[in-house]
Amino acid sequence: MTTDLDHEEFDRLASLYAVGALNASERKLFETHLELCHTCVGEVLLLLPVAHGLTRAVPHHDAPAQLRARVCKADTDSPTKQATPVKSASSRIVFNSAAAVCLVVAGSLGWYAAQQHNMARLLEENLDAANDRAVIAEIQAAVALAAQQEANQRTEILTAQDLIMVGLSSYPVAPGSRGRVYWSNEQGILLTASGLPPAPVGRTYYLWFVPVADPVSGGPLTLDNEGRITAVVTAPVGVSVPVPMAVTLEPDNDITAPSGEAYLFGRGIN
C-alpha cells in the first residue's frame, strides 16, 4: 500500500475510476494502488462493464439523414487512399497515454508480462527492423508465453461471465487482514488476501473449503513480503460455490485437516 487511505476509500475510488470521475492526481494515486492491489483490480474489472453499459442506456434517437450524408459524403469526398497494405487493427502497435492506462489494469493482473511487453516494444523501436526480425519474434513469443503464464488465468477468472465474489473477513488475530475469492465454475478460483502477518518458520497458510462435511484443503498459500496472497486454486471434486471458506495457519507438513488458527473466513453467497 502506498498511501494512508483505508481500503474502503479505495473501494469508492474504484467506482469513480470506473466512470472516469477522478481528477488527474486522484487517478494517479489510484493507478499506483492498482499496481499493488489485486482486489481493486478485480473490483474495477467488475465495474467496467457497468460503466460501459451506461452509454447504451441513453434514450434512443434516430440519427438525422443529414448526419449519414455528412459521414458517408465526407468519406467519398476525400481522395480515396490506395490500397496500401496496413497492419491489421489487431496487430497495430499503438502506445499512448490511454494505452498506458490499459496496461495499468492489464498489467496489474500480470505486471511482469506487461513490463516485458513494454520492453519488447522499446526494443522493437530501437532495433534495426530489417536485421533483427528474428530477435523481435523471439521476444514477442516470450512475451506471449509470459503473459499466458502470468496473467491469462487470472484474467480469465476475473472476467468470467459466471464470476461470483466471496469476501473473506478477518479474525481478531489479524484484524487488518482481508481477502476475497473470485469463483468461476468455468474458469477457476482466484484468492486474493492482504494484511496477513508473515508465517512463522515451519508454518504455512492454507485455504480450506468447508462444506457440510469435513473441511477440504485448497492447498498451501504463499505469502509475499507485503503480507499478500494471490493464488489460483482448484476446487476439490464435489465442492462448488456457495461454500464457506477459511484461511488458517498450519504446520508446514502436508496436512489433511485444519488444526491451526483461522485468519480469514467467508461464507459463499446464495
Partner 1 sequence: MPANNLSQPPLSARHEGDLVDRFVQGDDRAAVELYERHGNILFSLALHIVSDRSDAIDIVEGVFQQVRTGVYHYETSLGSVENWLLQTTRLHAIEYLRNRCDSTQDSEMATAQLPRPTRHQKLGICSKEEVSRLRNLLIAMPKLQRLALELAYFEGLSARQIAEQLEHPIETIKEKVHEALLTLRATH
Considering the complex, state which of residue 159 and residue 203 has its C-beta at the smaller distance from partner 1.
Answer: 159
Does residue 212 interact with partner 1 by CB under 8 A? Answer: no
Which residue of 36, 123, 160, 255 would you call a contact of partner 1, by CB under 8 A?
160
Whether the Cβ atoms of residue 184 and residue 160 lie closer than 8 Å to each other:
yes
Does residue 159 interact with partner 1 by CB under 8 A? Answer: yes
Instruction: List Cα–Cα distances, 49 to 55, 97, 123, in angstroms.
Output: 10, 21, 34
Sheet containing strand 262-266, edge to edge, reads 216-221, 203-209, 245-251, 262-266, 164-170, 178-184, 188-194, 229-233
- DSSP three-state, residue 148: helix
Residue 95 C-beta: closest distance to partner 1, Å: 10
CA 120/CA 220 separation, integer angstroms: 34
Binding span for partner 1 by CB under 8 A among 10-18, 135-143, 213-221, 233-241: 10-18
Q: Which residue reads 497458510 in cell numbers?
A: 205
Residue 226 C-beta: closest distance to partner 1, Å: 23
Q: Of 90-109, which residues contact partner 1 (CB under 8 A)?
A: 90-92, 94, 98-99, 101-102, 104-106, 109
Does residue 80 interact with partner 1 by CB under 8 A? Answer: yes
Binding span for partner 1 by CB under 8 A among 137-145, 156-164, 220-228, 238-246: 156-164
